[in-house]
Each structure stands twice: as C-alpha cells, then as structure tokens.
Amino acid sequence: MENLVSLTIDGKQVTVPTGTLIVNAAKKIGIDIPVFCYHPKMEPVGMCRQCLVEVGRPVINRATGQPLLEADGMPKIQFGAKLETACTTPVSEGMVVIGTSEKAARGRKDILEFLLTSHPLDCPICDKGGECPLQNLTLLYGPGESRFIYDEKMRLAKHYPLGELIYLDRERCIQCGRCVRFQTDIADDPVIGFFNRGRSMEIISTSDPGFDSYYSGNTTDICPVGALTTADFRFQARPWELCSTASICPHCPVGCNLTINLRREASANGDLVIKRILPRQNELVNEIWICDKGRFGYHYTESAQRLTQPLVRRDGELVAIGWDEVLSYVAENFTHAGKNLLALASGRLSNEDLFSLNELSTGLGGHSALYTHMAGGDLVAQLGVGNGTNLSNLGEDSVILVVASDLEEEAPIWWLRVKQAAERGATLIVANPRPSKLERFASQVLRYSYGSEATTILAVINAMSAKQNFPKAPKFQQGGEVVKTAAEIITKAANLIVFYGSEGMGLEASQALAQSCANLLVVTNHAHRKNNGLIAVWPRANDQGAWELGYRPLLNLKDAFQQFEAIYVAGADPVGDNPSLAEAVRDAGFVVVQDLFLTETAKLADVVLPTQPFTEREGTFTSGERRVQRFYPTVVHAELRPDYAIIANISKLAGLNLEDSALRIFNRLAAKVPAFNGLSYRQLAEVSEQWPIIGRSDLYYGGTSYANAQGLGVHLELPAQIPSLTWPNVPELNLPEGAILAVPITILYDRGQTIYHSQLLHRRIPPAHIAVHPDVAQRLSITDGTMVNFVLEGTPFEVILHISEQVPPGVAILPRSLGMPINSPVPIELKVVKEEPV
C-alpha cells in the first residue's frame, strides 16, 4: 500500500501518495498552477518561479508530537513568510496551499513582468501564438504594462537553425531549460545546452550535424514559448486555424499514437492539407513522445512522385489505364491463375488490407505470403507480452533482455522506454555482437559473434538448467562467466520481457532466435503474465498483424516468381531491395504491384495499382506489443483507393464477395481470427483518463502533445495454452577461411520507400556504405573513406568504406535498405576502387 497524505489546495481536499509535488496534487483535482520550467515527465528544477503559491503547514506541539488546534478544533496552520514553488515542494499531511491569494497573484505577476523584460513582441507572427503558455499566462496573470523600457530588450538571433529540422528564435527563449533537460535526461542525447550567462544566455547545439538526435522534435512540443519550432511548420499556419485527426505512426512496430493537424488551403482548392504531426498521449505505448521519423517522415505522402493512376504494360511500356478496365484485367488473370496465384504483402499494409488480400488469394485457391527478412511472429502470437503490460511499470523486480537489436535505430520509442525502465531500477541485459547506445544503461552485456544469436540464448537456458532443473537445450552450449551472470539475473527476476531483433540475421536465424527466446520465457515461467513476454523488433509497423492473420514468409522469392502464374505484390519492393530478383520478376507470368510509388518492382510489373497512404484512409495496425490501434482518414485523395477497397473491387469481379469498408472488414476479421475475437472499432476507440493529464487548455503543463480522445487500442489476448517446448534448428554459419563476413544491420533513416520520399529527412540518410573493423582495413591496406567494391547476390556494388572499432573483427556491417541487397550474413571479397579516400 502506498503511503497517502491529505491536504487542502484552494479550499479543496485531496489525498495523494507521499512525495507528490503540490503542482501535481493540484492537477489531480482540476486546479492548474501555472508553470514554465516544470514538466510532469521530468525532474523539477525550480528555475522560473512561475508556480509560486502560499504554503501553510500544521504547527506541531514539540512535546506531544501532535498538531496544535485552534479554538474551533481545527489544526493551527503556520504560513511561510515567503511564497514557495509548487513544482519542487512535496505535499505533507495537513498542508494548506493557496494559489488564489493576492500574494500568490503578485508573485506570478512579477515573474511574468520579469520574463517579458526581454521577450520580443512577436505574438502576431509567432508560430506558438494561440497555444503559447507565455501568452496565455500573461493574459491570465500578467501585468497590463511593463515598468521596463522596451528599447532595453536584448536583441538576439532569430530563425537560427539548431539543425535542419529545428529552428531557434533566440530572443524568444525564456531559459526554462526544458529542451536541454529533455535531451540530457530523457533522450540521453546532450547535444544542446546553455551558453553564456544572465540575459545573454542562449541555447546552442554542440553536435555535427546540428541537433543530432532522433527525438529533437519533442523539444518543440514542450518549449513553453515560440523559441523552438520545426522546419516544416514554422510560419505555416496559426494553431487556431488547424483541425486534427488521430493516427498511428506507420514507420516501426512501436505504434506511436499521433495527431495530424490540418488546414484548408487555397493552394489545394480548399481541401485539407497536413500542416504537422504531433504526439497523441498513450501512456501504454509512446507516453507523450514520438521520434523524428514519426514526426517528419509523413512528407512522402505529399510527394509529387506518388502514383496517381493505374498503369498497364502495353508494347513493353507502362501506360495509364482506367480503373474499370484495369480491375477487370487483373481479376481475369487472377481467376485464371487460381491456385497459382500468390499474394505477397508486407507489414506496411493494415490488418484490413492483409485480411482481405488473404481472403482473395485463398478464395481463388492461391496462397499468401509475408514479405520480410525476419521471422518468429508465430511465437510472439503465443508468447507475446501479457495483457496489462506497460513498459512504464517495469522497475526493480524486472529484467529486460534485448537481443540482436540496436533498439534506438529500429524502434526509438521502445529504446526510450526501456532506458527509463533501467533508470527506475529494472535490470537490462543487452546481447549484441557490437555496442549500441542502449548498453549505457545495461547491467550486463552479452557480446556474442554473428551467427551465435540463438545459441547464446540457449547457453543462458543451459546455465540455469543445472540449478533449476530446467530442460536443457539438446546441443549443450557452454556459456562463459557473462552468460552465467545473465542466467543468475534472470533466475531471480519477477518479470522478464525479451525484445529480439534481426541484426545480422535472415529468416532462418531469426526464427531460431525467436524460438530460443520463447523457450527462455517458458522454462523460467515468464509466459502469459502481465509485464512478461516476447516482443519482436519488426522492420515494419504491422508485421505482427500479418503473422496474427496467418501470413508467413517465403524462403526463396526467386523460386516463387518462377513458380506462380500470377503474383500480387502489395506494399513491397523485392527488386528494389534485391536487384538480382529483376530477371525473375521480368520472366514471371503476371505481376501486379500495388504501391504508392513506381518502385523498382513496379517498373517491371504488368499492372501497377496506385494506393493510399495511412493519412488518406482508415484501418488498424497491430504493434509489436500486440496492441491493435486505429488510424483515421485525414486528407482525401478522390482518385485513389485504399488497398482493401482495390482488393474488394478485384474480388467482386473474380466472383468473390469481400467487404469494401474498413469497419465491415474488421468485423469479419474479428469473427474469423481467434486472437481478434470480440474486438470492434468501437472498443479500439475507447479511452480512459491517463496520468499526467496533458493536452487541455493549460498547455504550459504538458506541452502541445494531444490528449487521447480517439482510442488507446486493445491488447490481443494470448491463446489459453502455453506452447510446449520445441528446440530450434540453429542454422550453421560457414565462413570460408579468411573471408570477410558481411552482416546486415538496421538504421532508422534509410532509403525505404517512405523515408526516401520525405525530402526533409534527406540530409540524415547516409549514402550506401559499409563499415569494417580496423583488422580488416589493415589486412587489405584500406583507409577510412576509401571506395571499395564487392559482389552481393551476383550484383557488383561500389560504396564508401568506414573503419570502426565497434565492428567485430573479420566483419563488415551493411545497413539494410541503402540499396545493397543483404538480409542475412554472407561472405564477401572487398576490392579497392580508389586508393585515395573520397
């Protein structure tokens, strides 16, 4: 039981846990104490003094230890001579707080007058005007006029780019330090800081490139003035002109909740145009944060390169064709193919799209497959995190194991939440062949070599089995001291969550790793419980949804293109990812590509069908934690159709009866797929009050992250039975003597279809490159920055080589989706193209 204390704030009684700050106790009963430097997600610093209140405490009789009583029997209250800061003062039993007195009002007024001594009169042109805490609090509590002289204001730089994503107006900064504290304490990227002192103090960026952090946009949400603005929103609209729609980020498996702000614009013939993306609060998923990929990556939806009409191949060329004609043509070919039809889709598609696509292909006798390099979703469906799991609740009794994933690059908000869990006392074990930023917070680092992912986890099980009488993995793996320590830590854990990724692995190895992690959870009795379970760090937003709906990957795509008579590729670009598939696609019977852009695969297809991105349609994604969440249509693109509607149109012409509305498809899905049984759009849209309370009229408290009024989503139920133990087939990694092992890694900003078409992020996307350990460089006499060439999947590549101590000896790491076809480890031979570094 928590220790509770009762106090009175502005005449209202409240009971809160010991240690609660006055500002938060007030918030709980609907009293807004004004703040600037305080933010409920950060430790208080008491810098601005805006939250001044009168605080009285019961007078205690020293002899008896009991409160002295007034004549009326009420406790005698002694008020301090000075005002106190509500953001740094914890509540105590019997405390009396007054924020509405003349004295408190005077204190707030003086602070505002002081802050405004050097604040420019920018409100009419400031992006923050209309949602600005300083503006709002000045109107509520500020002085009508200043005693200071206007001409004595500091003149500092305006429109200063801290980086290409975030701009600073230096003279608007009120030096609250929220941005600096966010970057240091929450993101652990201390790349901005204060420079100079007194009135000359200003925010500077200390990184190259400027403001080098995946979380930089969050500082613009919590900056209480218009000092920090994003490159894509500044001078674009006034907040009161905007309307909002709820959405879900489509870029990674976290499933961050978003709010999309829109405005009608003459340039779009009066249609709605997206002006910015902000976080929407979901304390179970992303709290009030999003990463910069989620905030700025949506610009691909506005790209002039988007497909706008169907195309068909005539005389070797792709030419425009009407919808009616193309759909009949496709339906005819699919019907003819029958059991030789393959639907190949990626986790970029929604649950509704994937369900309908599978109904179409299997309805005609054909097959469906998932386009991915990573496996194990079947095990996550059986051993995913238990209902009620919240990463924010993990603390001292919990262990988090992250294996084969550079979590910040692959799922930034999970990185943030795992890091915070470690700071609350959870024990973090990071297992990876090379260092990652997450290791700064790890209690234990398991460094294995590429190819030993699954065997490392099996070794942990075996290290425990002797003492705990667990089943032992068949091929006994001998772990070293670090493995034994990790095993001991896990043995003592009350909760265990395992994140597994696909660093250095393809399908077979990641399936073996998933099985090993699943077994670890089962043998240690961490299955089917709240705050315990398996989470896959998928490359796409809805990969887990695809596995839940029965999609499985194909081991050999080249064979598939040769074997099937008709192939329906949706939301995937196999040729773009692996140019060696081009010939197979060119020779395939009938290929239809449904996508947003004319991808490399689309260029070779017989038919190309344009579709709509997440901003133009509705649907649901299933996150890596198995939370099903709804996104809503935002802007209209009348000539285009969502994937599920195109699929329904084709199915009707092929004699099948599929639904063409997202809601009805979801109802059918929920009736047919056991994990979704009983779910409805209405349930997914339900909300409950969250803490901290943000997004109301008091934007000074939580910032401009939106409150969640459109749905917290629903966690999928786990099956009744815990699966029985099966041991994985661990693929052998055979490396020829002296060869260099090229291994794939995942980076946040790559050349995937969506990010590459978001111009604003272009400067963050590195060119194609590989990185090797100094031993490789020395062996081949190569210096950093040299152009090298090598062959992958029969295709020669020329890229820049970097040398890094962080790469294991004998290894070359290659980021996925930078144009080099690598999904699993392969030996390569490196040759120097240019001796001089480029």
The residues of the shown chain that bind ligand SF4, judged by CB under 6 A, are 173-179, 203, 223-225, 227-228, 249, 251-252, 254-256, 286, 290-291, 293-294, 411-413
What distance in Å separates the CA atoms of residue 12 and residue 29, rounded to the nearest whole number? Answer: 8
Q: Using the minimum distance from each CB to ligand SF4, give the nearer residue, 186 or 730.
A: 186
User: C-beta of 48: minimal distance to ligand FES in Å?
Assistant: 3
What distance in Å separates the CA atoms of residue 593 and residue 575, rounded to the nearest whole number? Answer: 12
For residue 339, give Cα distances in angstroms to 343, 346, 367, 483.
11, 21, 7, 49
For residues 519 and 513, the answer to whether their CB atoms sit within 8 Å is no
For residues 209 and 763, the answer to whether their CB atoms sit within 8 Å is yes
Q: Using CB under 6 A as the criterion, what x/- string covers residues 175-204 for binding ligand FES?
A: ------------------------------
User: C-beta of 721: minimal distance to ligand SF4 in Å?
Assistant: 31
Interacting span for ligand FES (CB under 6 A) from 33-41, 330-338, 539-547, 677-685 = 33-41
The strand pairing partners of 740, in sequence order, are: 828
**According to the binding rule CB under 6 A, does residue 67 interact with ligand FES?**
no
**According to the binding rule CB under 6 A, does residue 136 interact with ligand FES?**
no
- Partner interacting with residue 16 (select from ligand SF4, ligand FES, none; CB below 5-8 Å by kind): none
User: C-beta of 611: minimal distance to ligand FES in Å?
Assistant: 48
- Partner interacting with residue 413 (select from ligand FES, ligand SF4, none; CB below 5-8 Å by kind): ligand SF4
The strand pairing partners of 161, in sequence order, are: 167
Q: Using the minimum distance from each CB to ligand SF4, give the nearer residue, 412 or 821.
A: 412
What distance in Å separates the CA atoms of residue 803 and residue 44, rounded to the nearest whole number? Answer: 42
- Partner interacting with residue 814 (select from ligand FES, ligand SF4, none; CB below 5-8 Å by kind): none
- Partner interacting with residue 251 (select from ligand SF4, ligand FES, none; CB below 5-8 Å by kind): ligand SF4
Share in percent of the chain as helix, strand, coil (round to 5): 30, 20, 45
User: C-beta of 171: minimal distance to ligand SF4 in Å?
Assistant: 10
For residues 153 and 170, the answer to whether their CB atoms sit within 8 Å is no
User: C-beta of 504: minimal distance to ligand SF4 in Å?
Assistant: 21
User: C-beta of 228: minimal distance to ligand SF4 in Å?
Assistant: 5
Interacting span for ligand FES (CB under 6 A) from 45-53, 368-376, 546-554, 796-804 = 45-53
3-class DSSP string for 380-421: HHHHECECCCCHHHCCCCEEEEEECCCHHHHCHHHHHHHHHH
**According to the binding rule CB under 6 A, does residue 46 interact with ligand FES?**
yes
- Partner interacting with residue 426 (select from ligand FES, ligand SF4, none; CB below 5-8 Å by kind): none
- Partner interacting with residue 256 (select from ligand FES, ligand SF4, none; CB below 5-8 Å by kind): ligand SF4
Q: Using the minimum distance from each CB to ligand SF4, give the nearer residue, 33 or 132.
A: 132
**According to the binding rule CB under 6 A, does residue 48 interact with ligand FES?**
yes
Angle, nearest 10°, between helix axes 662-672 and 351-363?
A: 70
Residue nearest to ligand SF4 (CB): 294
Please choose, from the candidates 579, 508, 572, the residue with its C-alpha nearest in 3D space to the C-alpha of residue 728. 508
What distance in Å separates the CA atoms of residue 424 and residue 402, rounded to the nearest whole number? Answer: 17
- Partner interacting with residue 38 (select from ligand FES, ligand SF4, none; CB below 5-8 Å by kind): ligand FES
Residue 427 has a CB neighbour count (10 Å cut-off) of 22
Please choose, from the candidates 675, 816, 681, the residue with its C-alpha nearest in 3D space to the C-alpha of residue 380. 675
Q: Using the minimum distance from each CB to ligand SF4, give the nearer residue, 218 or 356.
A: 218
What distance in Å separates the CA atoms of residue 35 and residue 47, rounded to the nearest whole number? Answer: 10
Q: Using the minimum distance from each CB to ligand FES, give the nearer residue, 46 or 785.
A: 46
- Partner interacting with residue 342 (select from ligand FES, ligand SF4, none; CB below 5-8 Å by kind): none
For residues 537 and 443, the answer to whether their CB atoms sit within 8 Å is no
Alpha helices by DSSP H, 480-636: 481-492, 507-523, 543-548, 557-563, 574-577, 582-587, 600-603
Out of 9, 31, 37, 490, the residue judged to bind ligand FES by CB under 6 A: 37
- Partner interacting with residue 51 (select from ligand SF4, ligand FES, none; CB below 5-8 Å by kind): ligand FES
Q: Which residues of 622-634 are buried (b: 16+ CB within 10 A; e: fewer)?
A: bbbbbbbbbbbbb
User: C-beta of 168: minimal distance to ligand SF4 in Å?
Assistant: 6
For residues 763 and 164, the answer to whether their CB atoms sit within 8 Å is yes
- Partner interacting with residue 254 (select from ligand FES, ligand SF4, none; CB below 5-8 Å by kind): ligand SF4
Out of 20, 24, 85, 456, the residue judged to bind ligand FES by CB under 6 A: 85
For residue 583, give Cα distances in angstroms to 137, 340, 373, 605, 618.
65, 19, 20, 12, 36
User: C-beta of 88: minimal distance to ligand FES in Å?
Assistant: 6
Q: Using the minimum distance from each CB to ligand SF4, give the nearer residue, 294 or 506.
A: 294
Q: Using the minimum distance from each CB to ligand SF4, give the nearer residue, 168 or 591.
A: 168
DSSP, residue by residue, 157-168: -SSEESSSSEEE
User: C-beta of 481: minimal distance to ligand SF4 in Å?
Assistant: 35
User: C-beta of 39: minimal distance to ligand FES in Å?
Assistant: 9
- Partner interacting with residue 87 (select from ligand SF4, ligand FES, none; CB below 5-8 Å by kind): ligand FES
For residues 219 and 182, the answer to whether their CB atoms sit within 8 Å is yes
Out of 16, 22, 35, 416, the residue judged to bind ligand FES by CB under 6 A: 35
Question: What are the residues whose beta carbons fall under 8 Å from the beta carbon of 667, sequence distance 6 or more?
Answer: 680
For residue 265, give Cα distances in angstroms to 126, 233, 271, 417.
20, 14, 6, 38
Out of 7, 24, 27, 38, the residue judged to bind ligand FES by CB under 6 A: 38
For residue 729, give Cα distances in angstroms to 40, 72, 121, 457, 521.
48, 79, 68, 13, 18
> Tokens 């590729």 — which residue?
569
- Partner interacting with residue 178 (select from ligand SF4, ligand FES, none; CB below 5-8 Å by kind): ligand SF4
Greatest alpha-carbon span in the chain: 102
What distance in Å separates the CA atoms of residue 359 and residue 336, rounded to the nearest whole number? Answer: 17
- Partner interacting with residue 223 (select from ligand SF4, ligand FES, none; CB below 5-8 Å by kind): ligand SF4
For residues 172 and 226, the answer to whether their CB atoms sit within 8 Å is yes
- Partner interacting with residue 715 (select from ligand FES, ligand SF4, none; CB below 5-8 Å by kind): none
For residues 545 and 351, the answer to whether their CB atoms sit within 8 Å is yes
User: C-beta of 340: minimal distance to ligand SF4 in Å?
Assistant: 37
**According to the binding rule CB under 6 A, does residue 701 interact with ligand FES?**
no
- Partner interacting with residue 179 (select from ligand FES, ligand SF4, none; CB below 5-8 Å by kind): ligand SF4
For residues 815 and 792, the answer to whether their CB atoms sit within 8 Å is no
User: C-beta of 18: minimal distance to ligand FES in Å?
Assistant: 20
Q: Using the minimum distance from each CB to ligand SF4, give the nearer residue, 27 or 540.
A: 540
Out of 22, 47, 401, 609, the residue judged to bind ligand FES by CB under 6 A: 47
Residue 464 tokens read as 């425990």
User: C-beta of 50: minimal distance to ligand FES in Å?
Assistant: 5
Q: Using the minimum distance from each CB to ligand SF4, give the nearer residue, 500 or 631.
A: 631
User: C-beta of 827: minimal distance to ligand SF4 in Å?
Assistant: 33
Q: Which residues bind ligand FES (CB under 6 A)?
A: 35-38, 46-51, 85, 87
